[in-house]
Amino acid sequence: MAKKLGIQSTRASNYQDWYPEVVAAADLAENSEVKGCMVIKPWGYALWENVQRVLDGMFKDTGHSNAYFPLFIPLSYFEKEAAHVDGFAKECAVVTHHRLEERDGKLVPAGPLAEPLVVRPTSETIIGASFAKWVQSYRDLPLLINQWANVVRWEMRTRLFLRTAEFLWQEGHTAHATAEEAVEETMKMLGVYATFAEDYMAMPVIQGEKTIGERFPGAVQTFCIEAMMQDRKALQAGTSHFLGQNFAKASGIQFLDDKNTLTHAWTTSWGVSTRLIGAMIMTHADDDGMICPPRLAPKQVVIMPVVRKPEDRERVMTYCKALKVELEKQRFAGGEDRLRVELDARDIGGGDKKWEWVRKGVPIRIEVGPRDIDGDVAMVARRDKQADKPVSMPRAELVAGIGAMLDDIQASMFARAKAFRAEHTRVIDTKEEFYAYFESPRTKNPNDPTPIHGGFAMTHFNGDPALETKIKEDLKVTVRCIPLEAGEPGTCPFTGQPSAKRVVWAKSY
RNA sequence: CGGGGCGUAGCGCAGCCUGGUAGCGCACUUGGUUCGGGACCAAGGAGUCGCAGGUUCAAAUCCUGUCGCCCCGACCA
């Protein structure tokens, strides 16, 4: 008999269905009645809150302050940066009225606005308007601001967490007196993202620069962290942009430098979004559901009392409550992280309860019943190992070792993701091999989802945007980034021209 | 916006070809038996068959339109 899994679809047989099933089974989010928008449920939002809390600390440690700017951007602000308009105009939601009136029993918009308001798809222009007022002198710089907000991008096709019409994010916006300092900031924040992704999300990333075609509209340089999902596609998990003086000129951010010269500031912007939740799912979840990395898990440990007879109830509960208190005193991640422990005393079937936590991806499950109490032991199951095979552990050993166990789970999840990426990354030196690597396997029905194939290709590239476009048309493969780390010069296999280093090619989300 | 598919109980689906007044599994409620675990038995509640027209004595079923969702493209964090 086939093993019964936590969810219906598997990654191998039907990745397209597997992803939303994990989201539903883990109770992370659901589609709302509003097309393209999602409802983030408590378990999913708790993950986001942990992302926020950690990143917010990292931003403050690097000298940034939080502020908040309007949801609405006057159309005229938006028009000031031409490339920016090109990039975002097609996906803007626009507010044109400020009142509803009843006509023939129906409410209709009335009171047209003199100037339409764009619902922010990103806030460079509205924040720039404030920065222009705040900056007079080089002594006002650098200006290091972050905002936690929602933004709206009217997308054609949406997927929970990965691409929704409205999403939550943070956007850092900074202004500097020199280009060097702005570039340094851009790279520093990219590094913050990479550290967060690898140390907290247990998701290996490649730091790199985007090609011209993939650059943020209006930026001079765009940098990113790219991760490989379990269908071997690349997911851009965070971006950091060096905006040069483009937005400073558009918004009039000017200052007098120490030589009394009126100069435009150099700005940066950087952001990550609720897409990170999708990244965690597609990096770690398996055919039984979600697996939360311990450092971001809403709960790292769930204690499930096993109460067979009513007369055992009080004894078991007392023991479990004491165990919870003891476990909560423990630390992991070098003493930085405290334990979040759930005592699930709900009166539902033990099997149902267990599978619910498996699907939600709690890293460690502990079952305690009368027999365990007699022996002062507990049944312990690690979500990253076999999901349904708990092992007996002495209580003292469990309490003393729980931190190390969480560290081990965090480390093994990262190692597994890294091994997966390595397994599906290929160094390619010929055009033929490149095309064969990415060619979609044929399916009987052209409407079937494409089977999982390809991966990351490390290939030399002469940097020609027209060539990149051609390859995108042929294979739907693009340069995900030009890695920051040092590489060897070589020959572009498509043109025979020299190439400074290998770049990462992949299909992407 | 192009090509394909699908809308039937909370969820997953059958029924549609060959019209006759709605069914299955899971979930839910109640009772009982089990139980270191995704249990079993019995009884029960729950659906204007996406919506609007049309054909017909009769429409979930046939026809037309429309809305929504999914997949494959184009667009994208």
Q: How far is CA A353 from CA A153, A320, A454, A475, in A?
A: 38, 16, 38, 45
Q: What is the pLDDT of residue A242?
A: 97
Pairwise CA distance, residues A440 & A425, whole Å: 17
Backbone angles phi, psi at A219, to 5 degrees: -85, 155
Using the structure, give the distance in angstroms from the CA atom of A31 to the C1' atom of B35, rounded to a whole number: 37
DSSP state of A32: -
Q: How far apart are CA A55 and CA A274, in angstroms?
A: 13
Nucleotide with minimal C1' distance from the CA of A446 is: B72
> Which nucleotide is closest to the Cα of A275 by its C1'?
B77
Smallest Cα–Cα separation from A269: which of A149, A165, A163, A144?
Answer: A144
Instruction: Give dist(CA A465, CA A479) in Å, integer.
Output: 10
The answer to whether some atom of strand B lies closer than 7 Å to the beta carbon of A308 is yes
Task: Determine if strand B comes within 7 Å of the CB of A329.
Answer: no
Q: Are A243 and A251 in contact (CB under 8 A)?
A: no
Q: What pLDDT, on a 0 to 100 scale, did the predictor assign at position A447?
A: 55
Mean pLDDT by 10 residues, chain A (509 residues): 66 82 87 81 94 98 97 88 82 86 76 90 94 97 97 85 91 98 98 98 97 91 95 94 96 95 97 95 92 97 88 90 97 96 86 89 94 94 81 95 97 97 96 89 61 91 91 90 95 95 93
Nucleotide B5: nearest residue by CA–C1'? A447
A352 contact to strand B (CB, 7 A limit): yes
Q: Using a 7 Å CB cutoff, list residues 137-166 of A near strand B.
A: 153, 155-159, 162-165
- Domains of chain A as residue ranges with CATH: 15-284 (3.30.930.10), 301-422 (3.40.50.800), 425-506 (3.30.110.30)
Give the contacts of A451 (CB within 8 A, at least 6 positions apart): A440, A441, A443
Could you read off the pLDDT of A361-372 as tens digits, one per residue?
999 999 999 999
Nucleotides of B under 7 A from a protein CB: 1, 3-5, 35-39, 68-77
* pLDDT, position A18: 85
Give pLDDT, residue A449.
65
Between helices A179-199 and A42-61, what is the axis angle to 10°?
Answer: 140
Could you tell me what percentage of chain A is helix, strand and coil, using 3-state DSSP and rounding each to the nearest 5?
Answer: 35, 30, 35
pLDDT at A20: 85
What distance in Å separates the CA atoms of residue A409 and residue A297, rounded to the nearest whole number? 12
pLDDT value for A311 = 82
Question: Cα torsion for A144, A149, A150, A151, to the nearest 10°?
Answer: -20
How many angstroms separate the CA of A351 from the C1' of B39? 10
State residue A3's pLDDT score. 54
Quote the tokens at residue A196. 């967060």
pLDDT at residue A348, rounded to an integer: 80
Q: What is the pLDDT of residue A502?
A: 96
* Predicted pLDDT of residue A486: 92
Closest CA to A74 of A123, A145, A135: A123
Whole-angstrom distance, CA of residue A73 vs CA of residue A9: 43
Contact call for residues A405 and A288 (beta carbons, < 8 A): no
What nucleotide is nearest A214 when CA is compared to C1'?
Answer: B76
Q: What is the pLDDT of residue A4?
A: 66
Treating both helix axes as pointing N-terminal to C-terminal, what angle do A275-284 and A395-423 enclose, rounded to 10 degrees? 90
**In chain A, residues 16 through 45 whose Cβ sits under 7 angstroms from any atom of nucleic acid strand B:** 16, 31, 35-36
